[in-house]
Chains A and B, each alone.
Chain A
Amino acid sequence: DGGITQSPKYLFRKEGQNVTLSCEQNLNHDAMYWYRQDPGQGLRLIYYSQIVNDFQKGDIAEGYSVSREKKESFPLTVTSAQKNPTAFYLCASSISANSYEQYFGPGTRLTVT
């Protein structure tokens, strides 16, 4: 089955710890994206990558880091510098950066206490 996988589904961490969220796709899509969603709000873009070994900051990149070493993988690290890390994190991909049709993985719900 083709699709986007995110793991784990739920993640719990103590404040001050870095945590890495996994995102893998086997759709052969060039572009990948990370969003966060807070209760009752829309999605906000954290980082995006148009092609392997390249990525750009989105609207709320502070406290986050990413890498894109392989086409199918785009992990997101939530660092201890992120002030309010508890949120629903969604990874998406599109065929190419000039295709705006984005498809989402199932998401990871991160809780930091």
Chain B
Amino acid sequence: QKEVEQNSGPLSVPEGAIASLNCTYSDRGSQSFFWYRQYSGKSPELIMFIYSNGDKEDGRFTAQLNKASQYVSLLIRDSQPSDSATYLCAVNPYAGGTSYGKLTFGQGTILTVHP
């Protein structure tokens, strides 16, 4: 089992719809969760982070965390063609203190928003 798993997609949604991106992780002790957006040929850009169970909203983006189910998701409301990118989920895997500062990334989900 991979440490961080994402559906690679591609996920295709119409403009204006809600895009839902999902991520599961294997390390139950993980404490910090991140979503990065990566346009083709570019480097990842941090768009959301969440540390506590529940929802965190920032503009059109909502991150949802459920530690009991080891599940984190990203919702993008009113999706725009400019949201078309690969979305990477990253998790800080707890390993008794040895994972200090380290992140484990999923393979990414390709999102396409069509007009």
Give A residues with C-beta under 8 Å from B.
31, 33, 35, 40-45, 48, 50, 58, 90, 94, 96-107
Contacts and interface: CB of A to CB of B under 8 A. Distances in A.
Contacts, number: 58
B44 A50 contact: no
Interface stretch (B64-72, B73-81, B101-109): B101-109
Mostly, the B contact residues are loop
Contacts of A45: 102-103
Contacts of A48: 101-102
A55 to B, nearest CB: 11
A103 B108 contact: no
B100 A58 contact: no
23 contacts: A35-B105, A40-B108, A41-B108, A45-B102, A45-B103, A48-B101, A50-B101, A58-B102, A90-B43, A90-B44, A94-B101, A97-B100, A97-B101, A100-B32, A100-B34, A100-B101, A101-B46, A102-B46, A102-B103, A104-B45, A104-B46, A106-B42, A106-B43
